Structure 1
Amino acid sequence: MGLSWRSGLRSLGRQNLYLTLMQMVPLLTVPDIHFVVLQYDARAGDAAAEMAEVTAATGVTLRLWEDLDLRDDQEGGAALLAGLDLVVSAGTAVGELSAALGMPTWRFHHMAAWAALRTGASPLMVTAHIRAYFIANSSSGKLFFVAISLHRAADGGCPAGCGSS
C-alpha cells in the first residue's frame, strides 16, 4: 500500500492541512499491510525524521525505493503507483496521479474536498474515494474509520475501492 501523508508545500497557510506520520499510526499498525512511502522528501528532512520516529515507536517497516526520485522521475513514480494495490494519500499530487492512473486511491482531507462535488469521489477519477476527514491536530478518531476499512480489505471482506465515503 502506498502512503503519502502530506504535501511538500507546507507554507504557514498550509501547515495544518496535513497529518503527521505519527497521527497515522492507526493505519500503520493494521496487520499484513506493507507500506510503501510515496513522500518526495522521504530520504531527508521532516519526512525522514517522521519515518524514523514511527519505526522506533511501532516497529513498522516503511519501504522506500532508494533509487527512485519521486519528485523528478514522473514515469518511474507512475510505474511504482501502478504496482500498488492501494494508495492512501492526503490531497497531494501523489493522490491525483494515482487516481488518474486508475489505481484504487483513498484520500483524506481536512474538510470536504471541493473536487468531489459532494459525492465522496471525484467524478473525473472514479477510483478515488474520500475515506476520512480530519480536523487539524485532532485526527485520531477519524482515521479509525480508514483503519477499519483496511482491516476489512486485508481480510478479503471489502475490495480496496469499496465502502461508503
Structure 2
Amino acid sequence: MARSIDYGNLMHRAMRGLIQSVLQDVADHGLPGNHHFFITFDTRHPGVAIADWLHARYPEEMTVVIQHWFENLEVTDDGFSVTLNFGNSPEPLVIPFDSVRTFVDPSVEFGLRFETHDEEDDEEDDEDEADEAAPEKPHEAEVVSLDKFRK
C-alpha cells in the first residue's frame, strides 16, 4: 500500500491544538478584552464528566459559555476541566478535546466546527473489525458561520 499524507487527520490535530493553546492562555492570564467562548461538545463521548442532572438534560450535546464566571480552568493534552455556574450552582466539567464539536469566539468572529461521520464510521468499523491496525478515519474541521450563534 502506498504511503500518503493524511491531511484530514493533521488538520484535526492542529485545530484541537489551537483550542488547547487558547484555553491554556486563558487559564494562565484570564480572558482578554471581550473574548468569550461558546463550546459545544458530545456529552456521550468517553471521558466527558458532567453532573448527572446535566447529562439528563443534555443527553447528546451541550454548549457551555466561558465568559463572566468560571473557575478552576485546567488544560491538559487530552482536554480541559472547568467549573461553571448553572443557576447559582457551581458544577465541575471535564471535556476531552476529542468531544468538542464547535468552538466559537464571537467577539472576533472566529469559529471552528468538527464534522463527524458516525454512519460512515459505523460501516467502516464493520468492515475493519478484523484489522485492528486499520487507521482511524479523521474528522474534518471547518470554520463555522457565526450566524448560528446570533440571537
TM over 0.5: no
The two structures have a TM-score, normalised by structure 2, of 0.26
Q: Which protein shows a greater Rg?
A: 2
Higher share of residues assigned strand = 2
TM-score, length basis structure 1: 0.25
